[in-house]
Amino acid sequence: MDYTLLIQQIAHFLIGFYFLFFGIWNIYHWRPTLSLLNQKNLPHPWLLLPLAIAWQSIAGIMIICGIFIKLAALSLIPFTLISICIIHQFWKHTGELRNLNLIIFVANLTVTCASLLLLLNNSTALTQL
């Protein structure tokens, strides 16, 4: 029995859920996240945060549902890379804060690699890019 389709669907669910979960997490943690964006001196954080939440949530749902998976994955790659370089700058910290940011940095790089893999094969997608 070939489990390729099942494995792809599980992978789509897990990758999409990762982004959807953190979109919802950022809604729940709105004020601390907005405060963090202010601390990083990002322009217009009250505008950037809802855009980022919408971006990662919608793209996550698209990946879960198999709708324009390649487009969703392609949009999340630069989003994630930019986010980790701005938010999780482990090299600027020491001690436990450095370790925490390094772990999050590596986890986000890993999910970026998973998004790259979605660009390779997408036979289960309802629609292509």
Does residue 70 surpass a pLDDT of 90? Answer: yes
Mean pLDDT, all residues of the chain = 91
pTM, 2 dp:
0.86
Residue 129 lies in a domain: no
Residue 87 lies in a domain: yes
- How far is the C-alpha of 61 from the C-alpha of 126, rounded, in Å? 13
What's the chain's Rg over C-alpha atoms? Answer: 16
Report the number of distinct structural domains present in the chain. 1
Residue 125 lies in a domain: no
Residue 88 lies in a domain: yes
- How far is the C-alpha of 44 from the C-alpha of 67, rounded, in Å? 31
User: What average pLDDT does the segment 29-42 reach?
Assistant: 95
**pLDDT value, residue 63:** 96
Residue 68 lies in a domain: yes
Q: pLDDT per residue over 54-68, tens digit each?
A: 999 999 999 999 999
User: Under DSSP, is residue 14 helix (H, G, I), strand (E, B) or coil?
Assistant: helix
Does residue 112 surpass a pLDDT of 60? Answer: yes
Percent above pLDDT 70 for the chain: 93
Q: State the amino acid at position 40 in one-letter form.
A: K
**Domain range for 44:** 4-120
